[in-house]
Structure 1
Amino acid sequence: MHRILINKELCTGCKNCVLACMLKHSESDNIYTLDLENIDNDGRGHIELDKDNKPVPIICRHCDEPECVLTCMSGAMSKNNETGIVSYNESKCGSCYMCVMSCPYGVLKVDDRTKQVVLKCDLCKDEEYPRCVANCPSGALELQKEDAYAR
């Protein structure tokens, strides 16, 4: 099972994780051609400031017992018990946004263009490491391949 661990003490707020995610889910070939003003180019995570004005990465935790899956009435949200990845199937989505409202981390969001698709981290499933982890220069994000969570 895989999980992204966040060490907020190491986060500098550089937003490399956000940009890497945006690039991964865009049509652009490289960061220099990524149109940051295009509403279709949106990251699956973001950076917020905590009560002390320190940056904190907000990224899907792929929870052990994901509220988004438990509240999804259409079956669009599901958890793979082998990999631990919580996935979103757009074709099953009824656009009720119960998943968005139930996420305790505030990670899930609705796309800006159609207001009908949920933007959800897929851990860059076709790559060895999620782009956010691979592009974090401070080590605030780490991919843990967890045997401890295997059942």
Structure 2
Amino acid sequence: MKRIKIDRSKCIGCLTCVSACIVAHNSSDSKNRVILSSHMEFSPIFCRNCDLPECVYTCMSGAMRKDIETGYVTYDKNKCASCYMCIMACPYGTLKEDRITKKEIMKCDMCVGYGDTPQCVEKCPMFAITLEEV
């Protein structure tokens, strides 16, 4: 299984990963984000595709599920009840409400169907975001 790995010491907060996500998904919001930590360091926030994902266990509608083959946590907006239990359950704060529709969850989909590499990884100029086999 491949997972996104972040080297926070290389991140300069340029937001290229955020822009790449918006462009790749033809969206008005990104499925990832970059925050400034309490130590004044930039910190990209991405879905960790947990082995035991709390978002999946708390999803009452079945919109969130763990794909056995890829290991990715997937989201089906057509099944979503907009209860936001997944957002509240995520211990890493990676999920967020779509600020436009107010009914969908913004969740990294690893750019499945876009190519072999997520666009945030491909476009990061500092190589702070990489895709590694786990």
Amino acid at match of 2:99: D
Question: 1:81 Cα deviation (Å)?
Answer: 1.8
Question: 1:114 Cα deviation (Å)?
Answer: 2.2
User: 2:82 matched to 1:77?
Assistant: no
2:39 aligned partner: 52
CA deviation vs aligned residue, 1:15-56 (integer Å, no higher than 9, x gap): 110000010111xxxxxxxxxxxxx51000111011111100
1:92 aligned partner: 79
1:30 aligned partner: none
Question: 1:113 Cα deviation (Å)?
Answer: 2.1
2:4 aligned partner: 4
Does the residue aligned with 1:91 lie in a helix, a strand or coil?
coil
2:24 aligned partner: 24
Does the residue aligned with 2:111 lie in a helix, a strand or coil?
coil
If the length of structure 2 is used for normalisation, what is the TM-score?
0.95
Question: 1:105 Cα deviation (Å)?
Answer: 1.4
**Identity among equivalent pairs (%):** 49
Judge which range, 11-20 or 137-146, deviates more: 137-146
Does the residue aligned with 2:78 lie in a helix, a strand or coil?
helix
**Match of residue 133, structure 1, among 121, 124, 128:** 121
CA deviation vs aligned residue, 1:78-105 (integer Å, no higher than 9, x gap): 0112211110001111111000111111
CA deviation vs aligned residue, 1:49-90 (integer Å, no higher than 9, x gap): 111111000111111111110111111000112211110001
Greater CA radius of gyration, 1 or 2? 1
**Match of residue 142, structure 1, among 118, 130, 133:** 130
Question: 1:137 Cα deviation (Å)?
Answer: 1.1
Amino acid at match of 1:140: A
Give the Cα separation in 2 of the matches to 1:82 and 1:144: 16
Give the Cα separation in 2 of the matches to 1:63 and 1:134: 22
Give the Cα separation in 1 of the matches to 2:65 and 2:73: 6
Question: 1:106 Cα deviation (Å)?
Answer: 1.1
User: 2:105 matched to 1:118?
Assistant: yes
Does the residue aligned with 1:143 lie in a helix, a strand or coil?
strand
The number of equivalent residue pairs is: 133
Give the Cα separation in 2 of the matches to 1:59 and 1:115: 20
Give the Cα separation in 2 of the matches to 1:70 and 1:89: 15
If the length of structure 1 is used for normalisation, what is the TM-score?
0.85
